[in-house]
């Protein structure tokens, strides 16, 4: 791949232009556009994410300072602030959502089978959760949550194989998290871990009918009737393992099948958990461990907010905000694909830090990233930064 190209150009070489152009055509992204195409917009936004720019003006100034190199990046003309801002406001954000879905499919293929070693499952494992992004209500009135707050929710399904997003969507801050389950196509034989905000028995039964498995926590007012109790090894933290049916009329109507109820005690934090699942084959301690891995999606949200530009918005419209978040995920996925294909043995935090100061260098990516050695003085800082070590 390397032929004396700039680092940023080497990264963008992983983009399949035919697939990208299909996404643009699907939503008429090139309609009536004479200059500054969707491809140039994508280049500018991904450059801003990878170089950790804080605003559109920041992106334009940095690109303008290296005007003679823009042709080699793929730009046909100089990038101007009003042009970039108008493109973010008006061009359909679904272009970037659909292209992110293509990158997700490629990344999941590359990371297939990379489940945690202590989690032995017969199928893929996914974690479902959402994060709330709170912009200023005065600047973003379309995202009103309550009288004095605004919010946008990013819903995500995370594949534990490589911790790669497998599906995402947006909603208003008012929409309950459980509605996200209606938009997911459940995979046969897969495992889905989610917190008790997603406990809706009609939707859980839809997972069961799809021949998939769910693991969630029971709510405090959960009403049930015990049918059988199974022997447990209390040294593993499992306190009980029961086969139950729901007791309430509506709940029983929504989920008429048997459920498995597991009570687990976590000594580390002195906390008792009650899990519900439709899987009767896995050991109870494995069910508890699978739910414990749900924390990976919290780390993912924290990592993305800290190291990609989605906390400070580059536009005020709903279209601009969703465009920014989708291109941030595209940038992350491009780095994940590049890391796997080049066989780079370094965590994503370190890769992004190196790339952020090397966009205009001419050096092979694998050599640039692999040859960099952390100094002893920075070792303590990296211990905290390696929360995302995939």
- Identify any residues that bridge with 259 across adjacent strands, giving them in sequence order: 244
Asked whether residue 44 is domain-assigned, the answer is yes
* Residues 52 and 13 sit within 8 Å (Cβ to Cβ): no
Residues 6 or more apart whose Cβ sits within 8 Å of residue 369: 342, 344, 346, 350, 351, 354, 355
Closest by CA position to 318, among listed 176, 135, 147: 135
Q: Quickly tell me which residue has 């911790």 as its tokens.
A: 163
pLDDT at 141: 59
In a domain, residue 60? The reply is yes
175 falls within a domain = no
The residue among 258, 280, 302 that closes a domain is 280
Taking only the tens place, the pLDDT of each residue in 194-215 is 999 899 999 999 999 999 999 9
Query: pLDDT tens digits for 116-161?
Result: 767 778 888 999 999 887 654 444 554 555 555 566 788 999 998 8
Average pLDDT score, the chain: 85
- Cα–Cα distance for residue pair 211/200, rounded to 1 Å: 17
Domain membership flag for residue 285: no
Write the CATH number for 250.
2.20.25
What is the percent of the chain with per-residue pLDDT over 70, rounded to a whole number? Answer: 88
Per the confidence metrics, is the pTM higher than 0.75? yes
Which of 265, 280, 295 lies at the terminal end of a domain, its last residue? 280
Structurally, the chain folds into a number of domains equal to: 2
Domain that holds residue 321: 7-94+315-385
């Amino acid at each position: 791949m390397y032929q004396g190209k700039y680092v940023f150009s080497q990264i963008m070489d992983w983009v399949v232009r035919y697939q990208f152009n299909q996404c643009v055509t699907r939503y008429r992204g090139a309609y009536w556009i004479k200059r500054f195409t969707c491809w140039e917009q994508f280049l500018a936004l991904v450059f801003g994410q990878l170089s950790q720019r804080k605003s559109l003006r920041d992106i334009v100034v940095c690109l303008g300072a290296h005007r003679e190199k823009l042709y080699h990046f793929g730009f046909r003309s100089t990038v101007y602030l009003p042009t970039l801002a108008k493109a973010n406001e008006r061009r359909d954000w679904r272009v970037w959502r659909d292209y992110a879905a293509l990158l997700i499919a490629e990344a999941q293929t590359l990371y297939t089978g990379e489940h945690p070693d202590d989690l032995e499952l017969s199928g893929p494992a996914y974690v479902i959760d959402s994060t709330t992004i709170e912009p200023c209500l005065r600047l973003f009135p379309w995202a009103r949550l309550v009288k004095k707050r605004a919010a946008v929710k990013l819903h995500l399904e995370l594949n534990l194989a490589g911790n790669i997003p497998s599906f995402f969507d947006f909603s208003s801050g008012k929409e309950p998290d459980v509605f996200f389950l209606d938009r997911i196509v459940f995979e046969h034989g897969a495992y889905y871990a989610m917190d008790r905000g997603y406990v809706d028995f009609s939707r859980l039964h839809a997972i069961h009918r799809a021949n998939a498995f769910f693991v969630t926590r029971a709510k405090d007012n959960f009403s049930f009737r015990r049918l059988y109790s199974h022997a447990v090894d209390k040294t593993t933290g499992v306190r009980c393992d029961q086969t139950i049916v729901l007791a309430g009329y509506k709940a029983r109507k929504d989920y008429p099948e048997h459920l498995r109820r597991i009570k687990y005690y976590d000594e580390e934090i002195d906390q008792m958990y009650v899990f519900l699942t439709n899987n009767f084959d896995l050991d109870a301690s494995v069910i508890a461990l699978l739910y414990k891995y749900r924390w990976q999606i919290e780390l993912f949200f924290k990592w993305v907010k800290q190291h990609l530009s989605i906390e400070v918005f580059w536009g005020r419209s709903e279209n601009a905000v969703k465009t920014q978040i989708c291109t941030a995920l595209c940038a992350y996925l491009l780095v994940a694909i590049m890391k796997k294909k080049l066989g780079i043995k370094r965590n994503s935090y370190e890769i992004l830090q190196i790339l952020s100061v090397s966009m205009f260098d001419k050096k092979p990516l694998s050599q640039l990233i692999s040859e960099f050695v952390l100094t002893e003085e920075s070792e303590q800082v990296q211990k905290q930064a390696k929360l995302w070590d995939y």
